[in-house]
Every structure is written in structure tokens, then in C-alpha cells.
Amino acid sequence: MITVGIFNGYYPHALAETISRIKRDGFNCVQLDLSFKDIDTTPANLNKQKANFIRDAFRDANLPIVCISGYTNIIHPDPKKREQNVNELKNLLRYARDLGTPYVISETGTYNAESDWVWDPKNGTEEAYEEICRTIEDLAKFAYDHGSMFLVENYIQNVIGSVDQLTRLFHDVNHPGLGLLMDPTNYFTGDNIGRVDETINRIFDTLGDRIKIAHAKDIKPAENTGEKHADIDASESHTFRGAGAVELPAPGLGILNYDLYLARLGKLHPNIPIIIEHLDEADIPRAKKFLDGKLKSVGV
């Protein structure tokens, strides 16, 4: 059976209170955000002892950490900021096993100087692809050397966004230190949002064997084409709700075909964790009830 988890970052509390609330809401795994109110987990202060303390707190609650949020702009237009971002991501890869899982996730980023989520014309150039390819190969090799794995999460506004770009990336960086975070909502633009089933099937037909972890949010046509954020106490990666012609709300609040998505996912990866996102704490029970219902109806 597919297991249902959530980002702990949607619970803006201390470690013990966060775990208590996640258990109360019925989840059985988490994607780890190092964002607890009572623990300094900034890169300079993360070490093996602190990582083990966090891991063991979740283990004691029978709430496995299945992957780690490392979201950052690894192609930032400022070279110094880019180097800092990549080094901080490597630090998470270094301590991933100490935190309980090999998987660390990030999107590829954008050359946009104002936002990590908005398209820049340079994103679509061959120069951008070659640069991100070198960076991801370096991350994959670093991860492998530390017993971990870098999971790339594509997003259509970033350098790596489409099925074709991911296919090329996995061909060019054919390394055991690289995997895919599956989120079908990240492939949609104003051009293909009317072809939901076709897009989902193409993702699985082309990239299904690369998937390690799955996400659950939704898609709908946006009322405005600007960058969209929710007003919640969370990191920017958790307040983000889409850019351009597609809005990215919580699961069950859009038009994604969850029956098809979960059927394809469950056939290929019957025991994979799926992680709920893009919501506030008050909406968590509704979103989980929706996803549990879909999993039962599909039979996975």
C-alpha cells in the first residue's frame, strides 16, 4: 500500500509538538524540513549528534523520515549565492543517512534574479542546460560517496521542467546518486493544462522507473499570472502556490486526475510514500481525508 506523509514544515512548532500533531492527524511518515522552532539546524550548526537526535525523535514516534527538503536555487544567477546554495545542499546530503533517509530533494532553480520560482529566458538555453547538468552530476556523485541520493524535482518555470528535459538529464547524468521526485503538477503550463491525462501518462511512460518519492498537490488555471504565495508561517518553498498560468493548490482543490495518478503510481511503486503539500495547518485533515479516499477507491 502507498503510505501517506506530510512535510513537517506545515506545522510551525517545536520538535515534540510537531511530532505530536503529525501523529494526531494520522500520518505515518514525513518529508523532513529542518525548521523546528526549538532547534538550530542552520547549515553551520547541523552535525551528526543533532541529526541523530531528530531522527530518533521521529523513530520513537513510529513516524519514519522518508526524505529531506533541500530546496534551493542551484543555478542562482549570482555565482557566490549559487556556490553557497550548492554547498548547503551538499551538507544535507552529507548528513542524510544520519537523519534517517538517503533522499534529499531540490528543484533546479532559475536564472531569474528576483525569484527562485519564475521563468527567465536564459533557463531555456543550451548554456543553462549544460551548467545545470554539471551541477547535478556533481551533486549525484557527492551524494553517492556519502551513501545518499539527490532527487531532482522538476518545475516547469525552472531550468529542468519538462518530460523531455528530464529524459535528457537522466541520459546525460546516468548515475546511481540521482533519482526523481514525482510530482505531476510540476509539468503543467497554460498550454497543456487541458490535457491532464495525456500528460500524466507520458510522465509515467517515460520516467516511471526513476521515481523514488511522490508528492500530492493539485493544479488549476490561475486567475492571475503572477507569482502566488500563501500567508502562512513557513519557508518560501511551502508558501509558494504557483507562477504563470497554473495555480498549485492543495490536493483535492483542483483538476488533477488523482484516480489516474495514483493508479499509475501504485502499479509501478506499490509501497511508495506520497507526501501532501501546498496547504496550511487548518486544511491538513481535509487534504488527508481526500487523499486517503482516493487511495482506497483506486485500491493502492
d(CA 177, CA 189): 29
Residue ranges of domains in the chain: 3-217+251-298
With a cut of 70, list the residues of the chain below it in pLDDT: none
Query: According to the model, what pLDDT value does residue 226 have?
Result: 85
Question: Counting beta carbons within 10 angstroms of the beta carbon of residue 164, is it exposed (0 to 12), middle (13 to 18) or buried (19 or more)?
Answer: exposed
SS (H, E, C) 31-81: EECCCCCCCCCCHHHCCHHHHHHHHHHHHHCCCCEEEEECCCCCCCCCHHH
Query: According to the model, what pLDDT value does residue 219 have?
Result: 98
Query: According to the model, what pLDDT value does residue 124 have?
Result: 95
d(CA 89, CA 149): 12
Query: According to the model, what pLDDT value does residue 105 have?
Result: 98
| Fold of the domain built from segment(s) 3-217+251-298 | TIM Barrel (3.20.20)
Cβ-based neighbour number of residue 88 at 10 Å: 17
Among the listed residues 292, 290, 263, 293, the one whose alpha carbon sits nearest the alpha carbon of residue 279: 290
Query: According to the model, what pLDDT value does residue 96 have?
Result: 98
Query: According to the model, what pLDDT value does residue 43 have?
Result: 87
d(CA 291, CA 216): 8
d(CA 76, CA 261): 32
Amino acid at position 24, single letter? R
